[in-house]
Amino acid sequence: MSSSSKVYTLSQVSQHNSPHDCWIVVHGKVYDVTKFLLDHPGGDDVILSATGKDATSDFEDIGHSSTAVAMMDEFFVGHINQSTIPEKTEYTPPKQPHYNQDKTKEFVVRLLQLLVPLVILGVAVGIRFYTKSASA
């Protein structure tokens, strides 16, 4: 087996996770990008945060150019043992108690909060007006 077809486990690749020794996994291939870190147009931090896992979706999400893809060959060191990559778990939202969307009660309370003082004010003004005109 030649060194270029060496197969690594994810935990082996994960050990190379520093700025001085950085490996990533993209499309089932392992790349030693240590020398490229500082030259990477997207910065070294994004690549460093993509170590220790399958970085394929991170790599694809950026929409790397074909030039970028062509550059990768230079850093190829082997393949990843796919069975060592944990399967993607689908996100299931936590179960929540049924949320009451009905806001009618809240609305009526707010309306009353607004109307009651207005009615009181109206009655007060009415009484004042009535007593004034009655005494005149």
Give the interface with ligand HEM as residue ranges (CB under 6 A): 24, 31, 33, 40-42, 46-47, 50, 55, 58-59, 62, 64-65, 67-68, 71-72, 75
C-beta atoms surrounding 128 within 10 Å: 10
Judged by beta carbon, residue 46 or residue 123, the one nearer ligand HEM is 46
The answer to whether the Cα torsion of 7, 36, 53, 28 is positive or negative is: negative
**Nearest-approach distance from CB 45 to ligand HEM, in angstroms:** 9
Judged by beta carbon, residue 7 or residue 69, the one nearer ligand HEM is 69
What is the rounded radius of gyration, in angstroms, for the C-alpha atoms of the chain? 34
Q: Do the beta carbons of residue 79 and residue 25 sit within 8 Å? A: no
**Nearest-approach distance from CB 56 to ligand HEM, in angstroms:** 9
E-only strand ranges, the chain: 7-8, 17-18, 21-26, 29-32, 76-80
**Nearest-approach distance from CB 87 to ligand HEM, in angstroms:** 20
Cα gap 17→45, rounded to integer Å: 11
Judged by beta carbon, residue 69 or residue 120, the one nearer ligand HEM is 69
CB-nearest residue to ligand HEM: 42
Judged by beta carbon, residue 21 or residue 106, the one nearer ligand HEM is 21
